[in-house]
Amino acid sequence: MRKIITFFTLFLTLTPVFFFSACTSNENPVGPQDGYKTITLGKWINTHVNDFEVETDMGFYMEFRRDSVQIYATGFTLDDNNKSWIENNNYTFHIDGDLIIVKGWDTFGQRFDMKFKILQLDAFTLRYTNAEFLIDSVSYPDQSIYTCKRITEDISQNFVGIWYGKSTDRGNPDTDYHYWEYFPDGRYNYYYRNNQGQWIRKSDNEGRYFLYGNYMATNYTNDLISGGTGKAYECWNIFISDNTMKWSALRPGRKVASYEMRKVDAPPIP
């Protein structure tokens, strides 16, 4: 039961993908029900739960496709050494009145049957609450209000490449410069300097990134800064202007982490 509740909690925390800004229903009224499916189609990222901004690592992504398939992605924590961002396309959806009805199986083989009651839906924002939430036919009531923002921007072309920079938030033990090399297929390399000042490409990085508008999730192994072992993931909001990229993220304790980097022509070593 603990395992099921853990996955359920993660799904709820990330489900907000449908609704982003915390606008009132007067500002963004629910649209005509006949147009719900058309308006719902597209890509959404979760930003708020009960009008509180979610920690960046706790966000999630959902895409409603024209073929009635729903793609869902979020971070899962199986134990302290096994944390991963996972995409799943084993869900289908349809619209019934003011309900978004989603059915399917999660990554771990559990059956989900969900009914999301639309509270607010327009071209930019979706807010909903759970009218029904079943996992393997067991009900898990939840009255939270989820807010998601529609993804309208594609920065992948500017994002791919090699970046050189460092953390800009106070108190971060990582004060060194690093290189990040992002490839179009979702792979990336990470470079750091050892105690002798030599540049090293992290051989056990096993890096992969997922880009949803300006929201990025990255998987990696064996954290170089903390010394942690095993699989891990982290998420960032990223902003690119010309050849400068900035990352920011809301972390536990409402702390804000940040990095700044510039695009360069090549990594420090072949």
> pLDDT per residue over 155-186, tens digit each?
999 999 999 999 999 888 888 999 999 999 99
CA nearest neighbour of 147 among 165, 164, 125, 168: 125
Phi, psi of 229 (to 5 degrees): -115, 160
Phi, psi of 83 (to 5 degrees): -130, 130
Q: What's residue 10's pLDDT?
A: 43
For residue 80, what pLDDT band results from cuts at 50, 70 and 90? confident
Q: What's residue 11's pLDDT?
A: 44
pLDDT higher than threshold 70 for residue 187 = yes
Residue 72 CA, chain-centre distance (Å), reads 10
Paired with 117 in beta bridges are 99, 129
Alpha-carbon span 225 to 80, nearest angstrom: 16
Task: Tell me which DSSP letter residue 27 carries.
Answer: T
Q: Where in the chain is the domain with CATH 2.40.128.280?
A: 156-264
CATH of domain 2-150: 2.40.128
Q: What's residue 235's pLDDT?
A: 98
pTM for the model: 0.85
Q: What's residue 16's pLDDT?
A: 37
CATH of domain 156-264: 2.40.128.280
Phi, psi of 182 (to 5 degrees): -105, 130
Alpha-carbon span 172 to 194, nearest angstrom: 18
Q: What's residue 186's pLDDT?
A: 97
Q: Where are the beta strands (DSSP E) in 194-254?
A: 199-201, 208-212, 215-221, 231-241, 244-251
Output the six-digit token pair for 215.
């929201």
Q: What's residue 22's pLDDT?
A: 36
